A = this chain, B = another copy of it.
Amino acid sequence: MTRVAILNVTGYAGAELARLLHTHPAVELAAVTGRSSVGQRLPEVFPHLWPVDLPITDEVDDSVDLVFSALPHAASAEAVVPFLLRDIPVIDLSADFRLRDAAVYERFYGRPHPAPELLSGAVYGIPEVTGGPGPDTKLVANPGCYAAGAILALAPAVASGAIESAVVDGKSGISGAGRSLGQAYHYSEANDSLSAYGLAGGGHRHRPEMDQELSRLATDGWSPLTFVPHLVPMTRGILTTAYATPARGVPASALGDAYRDFYRSSPFVRIVDTPPATKQVSGTNNCLLHVRSDDPAGRLIIVSVIDNLGRGAAAQAVHNMNRVLGLPETTGLDAVALYP
């Protein structure tokens, strides 16, 4: 059994990782760290993790074979360097290694990158689109939740040359804001209400990730996306609605086939004929996609749904781990979505 550790298990992504790894047949969850919770056992913080009765420690020693970091940005980069130096593969769920350009990182995260020398070696891990990671990968940058939903929605259209930009309207469940308290996430404020956010200061941090990865697929240039995220009164799930004007000469009717071809070999992505609901993928690494090319205004419309803590964080991280370890992609990820 491969021994794995989770840095900062006490957020929602960390807890979801613990949930998935506990029943993963090829790995043993050997250690978990926290910050304010050091000294407690995991079920004291998360009663639902009662079967995962591990102590929350301050540090992880080098007896582990692979490390997940669910630390916040900046803290994460600093924490994973020692593991990389010891040649222990790292799957980083923070934003630290997603952006290849340290200057873009600094602009969006408000500080110089803590380890810019590692950026070129990191693999952005959304395998259906980026091809990686693989057995040789040492550092995986796990995508941002909104970025995962948008990239899965747009990649086939971009790769086929049909579009060169898009409007991305993102709608997320509130667990995407994390477990830390905030007035906007206080139940009485968030329940039965809806708002947009992330509009000021150049937009949301996940937008440059989308542009970075989609522009790599583009055959004829790329113009920046417009991206507006919204806070939806539900716990999990991201629905992305993407709008784009197809390039002249690309028959819109061909795009459905382009999507099916693009995802033909993925066990996690499925093109569906009726608009999907976020709850249909709850707890999984799955993505359901709905593609429309018959808009009266001539725009292409793509809708994707993912679980923000699944494909948008922890399940995607396990998917990436499976590839790093040379396991079948679906190992430990074959549970069916919890519905209703």
Point out residues on A near B: beta carbons under 8 Å.
Answer: 12, 15, 18-19, 22-23, 46-52, 165, 167, 169, 171, 173-175, 177, 179, 181-183, 185-197, 199-200, 202-203, 207, 223-226, 228, 230, 232-237, 239, 241, 243, 270, 272, 274-283, 286, 288, 290, 292, 294-297, 299, 301, 303, 305, 334-340
Residues of B within 8 A of A286 (CB): 50
Asked if A192 contacts B279 (CB within 8 A), the reply is yes
Residues of B within 8 A of A276 (CB): 47, 195
Known: A280-B47, A299-B226. A275 touches B195 (CB 8 A): yes
Asked if B179 contacts A186 (CB within 8 A), the reply is yes
Asked if A47 contacts B272 (CB within 8 A), the reply is yes
For the complex, give the distance between the alpha carbons of A189 and B339 in Å: 8
Residues of B within 8 A of A237 (CB): 192-194
Asked if A186 contacts B181 (CB within 8 A), the reply is yes
The listed residue (B175, B188, B223, B299) touching A188 by CB distance below 8 A is B175
Asked if A336 contacts B48 (CB within 8 A), the reply is yes
Nearest CB to that of A223 among chain B residues? B297
Asked if A171 contacts B230 (CB within 8 A), the reply is yes
Asked if B338 contacts A19 (CB within 8 A), the reply is yes
Q: List 10 A-B contacts (CB under 8 A).
A: A47-B276, A48-B279, A48-B336, A167-B243, A174-B187, A174-B191, A185-B186, A192-B236, A194-B305, A226-B243
The listed residue (B15, B177, B243, B277) touching A243 by CB distance below 8 A is B243
For the complex, give the distance between the alpha carbons of A321 and B53 in Å: 28
Asked if B235 contacts A340 (CB within 8 A), the reply is yes
**A59: shortest Cβ distance to chain B, in Å?**
25
For the complex, give the distance between the alpha carbons of A252 and B340 in Å: 40
The listed residue (B278, B295, B335) touching A195 by CB distance below 8 A is B278
For the complex, give the distance between the alpha carbons of A199 and B232 in Å: 21
Residues of B within 8 A of A171 (CB): 171, 194, 230, 232
Asked if A196 contacts B230 (CB within 8 A), the reply is no
**A231: shortest Cβ distance to chain B, in Å?**
8
Known: A165-B297, A243-B226, A299-B226. A336 touches B52 (CB 8 A): yes
Nearest CB to that of A281 among chain B residues? B48
For the complex, give the distance between the alpha carbons of A228 and B171 in Å: 13
Contacts A171-B232, A191-B340, A199-B301 supplied; 19 other A-B pairs, CB < 8 Å: A15-B339, A19-B338, A22-B336, A47-B276, A47-B280, A48-B281, A173-B194, A174-B187, A174-B191, A179-B188, A191-B233, A193-B279, A195-B276, A197-B275, A199-B275, A223-B297, A228-B241, A228-B301, A230-B239
Asked if B188 contacts A12 (CB within 8 A), the reply is yes
Known: A174-B187, A183-B181, A292-B199. A233 touches B230 (CB 8 A): no
